[in-house]
Amino acid sequence: MKQKTVMAIDLGGTRIKMGLVSGSEILFSTEMDSQSGNGLRKRLPEIAKSMNDLLKQASLSPSDMAGLGIAIPGIVDSVNNKILTINDKYNDAPDIDLNQWAQETWGLSLFLENDTRSAMLGEWKYGKGRGYDNAVLMNLGTGIGTSAVIEGKILRGKHFQAGILGGHFIVNVKGEQCNCGNYGCAEAEASTWNLPEILKRYPQHADSLLFGQPKIDFKTIFQFADSDPLALLVRNECLEIWAACALNLVNAYDPEILILGGGIMASRDIILPCIEQKVNGNGWAVWGKVIVTEASLINTAALVGVGSLVI
Ligand SMILES: [Zn+2]
């Protein structure tokens, strides 16, 4: 039977991806800057216009769609399609009735989900997690996004928080404050959004080649690691923290497979063996080894994942 087509939107912190999705296939897609600092409400008309353009390209109408799926960072009540809390992006989103927006704009039912949980669904159904009943995803991007499938079910928990707060595992009890309010979270110690602050903790910062670089992200850190002692130090410390976070995830959720995604995985040759070594060298697993692998749906996991919720 032919898969139903759905509309899917991935509201990322920097880019909004949109697509017409059929199973694992993205039939038509487009993307734009998110301007997430300005809120979501202002962006909705532009999003609607782009989706309508996709429908036109596909010679389809909203009534041909099975529904609308939206993936968004933050904690999401996926029963009532409500954004409960979101940090530093789309700050007005909890006050927007997206059910109403989907109905009024296209007459479609909405399926809303956390972005990393959507990506986990995508990898689980169509990517590297396929065939496994127990899987964990760790996305190294602007922050550290995580999600888990346990015993064949995506993990949500009583308050929709289960599995997705791995970036806030405490990896340094004497660490700095995180954007969640706690101290020493993995994100506060080793994530892109906090990298400028992380670098300032080192006295040698001013003498480093990193000082004065127009853009500081992990691409820069990995690039300079061969020539700059501070870049090497920060890279290695962040690798340790990601590996600790990965092992915490494995200890918490007992997966068969750990999938690593996100833009920082461009440096996979260094990251993968380091995390594999920590998880399988230091982990407490008498049964064998966790498969540690890179995500396969690099840019599309959240779109096809949230699309799968619609069907
Ligand atoms: Zn935190």
Q: What is the gyration radius of the CA atoms in the chain, in angstroms?
A: 20
For residue 179, report the distance from its CA to the centre of ligand 1, in Å.
6
Strand order through the sheet with 68-72: 25-33, 15-22, 6-11, 68-72, 110-114
Per the domain annotation, does 121 fall within a domain?
Answer: no
Q: In angstroms, rounded to a whole number, what is the distance separating the alpha carbons of residues 30 and 41? A: 19
For residue 78, report the distance from its CA to the centre of ligand 1, in Å.
22
* 166 and 53 part of one domain: no
Domain edge (last residue) among 94, 115, 136: 115
- 309: three-class secondary structure by DSSP: helix
With b for 16 or more beta-carbon neighbours within 10 A and e for fewer, the 237-268 pattern comes to ebbebbbbbbbbbbebbebbbbbbbbbbbebe
Cβ atoms of residues 34 and 308 within 8 Å: no
* Residue linked to tokens 């890279």: 235
* 134 and 275 part of one domain: yes
Per the domain annotation, does 304 fall within a domain?
Answer: no
Neighbours of 125 (CB within 10 A): 20
Q: How many domains does the chain have?
A: 2
* 94 and 235 part of one domain: no
Neighbours of 194 (CB within 10 A): 19
Amino acid symbol at 228: D
pLDDT at 2: 62
For residue 223, report the distance from its CA to the centre of ligand 1, in Å.
27
Per the domain annotation, does 305 fall within a domain?
Answer: no
- Residues β-bridged to residue 279: none
Which CATH number does the domain housing residue 34 bear? 3.30.420.40
pLDDT at 30: 98
* Dihedral-angle region of residue 293 (phi above 0 means left; psi in -120 to 50 means alpha; beta otherwise): beta
For residue 47, report the distance from its CA to the centre of ligand 1, in Å.
30
Domain edge (last residue) among 115, 138, 171: 115
Per the domain annotation, does 120 fall within a domain?
Answer: no
Q: What is the largest CA-CA distance in the chain?
A: 63
* 266 and 155 part of one domain: yes
* 135 and 56 part of one domain: no
Main-chain dihedrals φ then ψ at residue 178, nearest 5 degrees? -100, 170
For residue 176, report the distance from its CA to the centre of ligand 1, in Å.
10
* 156 and 290 part of one domain: yes
pLDDT at 1: 47
* 84 and 169 part of one domain: no
For residue 183, report the distance from its CA to the centre of ligand 1, in Å.
7
pLDDT at 243: 98
Tens-digit pLDDT profile for the chain (311 aa)?
467 999 999 999 889 999 999 999 999 999 999 999 999 999 999 999 999 999 999 999 999 999 999 999 999 999 999 999 998 889 999 999 999 999 999 999 999 999 999 999 999 999 999 999 999 999 999 999 999 999 999 999 999 999 999 999 999 999 999 999 999 999 999 999 999 999 999 998 889 999 888 999 999 999 999 999 999 999 999 999 999 999 999 999 999 999 999 999 999 999 999 999 999 999 888 899 999 999 999 889 999 999 999 98
For residue 181, report the distance from its CA to the centre of ligand 1, in Å.
6
With b for 16 or more beta-carbon neighbours within 10 A and e for fewer, the 37-51 pattern comes to eebbeebeeebeebb
Neighbours of 206 (CB within 10 A): 11
- Residues β-bridged to residue 111: 69
Cβ atoms of residues 2 and 276 within 8 Å: no
Residues 6 or more apart whose Cβ sits within 8 Å of residue 281: none
**Residue 58 structural domain:** 6-115
For residue 60, report the distance from its CA to the centre of ligand 1, in Å.
43
Per the domain annotation, does 300 fall within a domain?
Answer: no
